[in-house]
Amino acid sequence: MSTLADRLGEVSTRIEKAASLANRSAEDVTLIVVTKTHPADLVVELLGLGVTNFGENKDQEASAKAKLVAELASQHNPIWHFVGQLQSNKVKSVLGYAEVLHSLDRQSLLDELNKQLSRVEHKGLQVFIELNLTDDPKRGGIDPNHLLNFAEKVLEVENLQLLGVMGVASLGGSAEADFERIATASQQLQKLAPEARFISAGMSADFEQAIEHGATHIRVGTAITGKRE
């Protein structure tokens, strides 16, 4: 059976190959290991293997885990990324540990962030605007046609740093086409906000394709952690 270190090494090699094929530097691709459903011990082990960026998608689980990891591995400084749907009533808690939010997907969430970030002295939050790549408006995310309107509002909020766009390739669809749409949206966004040049895209099943299409932040779970129960 492969070990955590083996799987991390394999994914790192695959990132290097994909970057090289795309004439990009692997250093421009940030690996976020998604540790949802896995215990704090696994995060501590990954910290020992040199991983710094971790992704979680549920506040209750993530806040407890971040606290435990801080106790168990106080010599390390993990960076927590919140990658899941975020309810407005969890914003305050998430701001307590997360440095990056990948799923800013609606005005009401932006309003709550604005409120919480202006309330206390805060180090700020980095955000990606999540795009809805499906035809279903009920799915999370901003319609790519409304991206620039929404981005203008994001840019007005103090203590919020817009990093770029985030997308999840639709199940059963063509990941290739989805990543192309994300890249196009990113280029449009950069005309408005040149510094918002980052792209969060790609998971275990498709991160190489995402890198080919310019992903700068990939969110990899099972390929490294093994299956979730």
Ligand X SMILES: *Cc1c(COP(=O)(O)O)cnc(C)c1O
Site residues (CB under 6 A) for ligand X? 34, 36, 57, 83-84, 168, 203-205, 219-223
- Which residue is listed with tokens 């070990």? 3
Token pair, residue 158, equals 């103090």
Smallest gap from Cβ 226 to ligand X, in A, equals 10
Q: What share of the chain is helix, strand, coil (3-state, %, to 5)?
A: 45, 20, 35
Q: In this complex, which beta carbon is closest to ligand X, that of residue 114 or of residue 211?
A: 211
What radius of gyration, in Å, describes the C-alpha atoms of the chain? Answer: 17
Q: Which is nearer to ligand X, 35 or 114 (CB)?
A: 35
Q: How far is it, in rounded angstroms, from Cα 159 to Cα 181?
A: 28
Closest CB to ligand X among 148 and 176? Answer: 176
CB of 102 to ligand X, least distance (A): 7
Pair of tokens at residue 193: 């906000």
Nearer to ligand X, 87 or 222 (CB): 222
User: Using an 8 Å Cβ cutoff, are 228 and 190 in contact?
Assistant: no
CB of residue 225 to ligand X, shortest distance in Å = 7
Give the residue from 154, 168, 85, 92 showing the smallest Cα distance to 126.
154
Place of tokens 């806040």: 63
> Measured from the CB atom, is 34 or 40 closer to ligand X?
34
**C-beta of 132: minimal distance to ligand X in Å?**
13
- The residue among 36 and 139 lying less far from ligand X, judged by its C-beta, is 36
At its nearest, how many Å lie between ligand X and the CB of residue 170? 13
Which residue number is nearest to ligand X in terms of Cβ? Answer: 221
For residue 23, the minimal CB distance to ligand X (Å) is 25
Nearest CA to 12 among 35, 29, 36, 37?
29
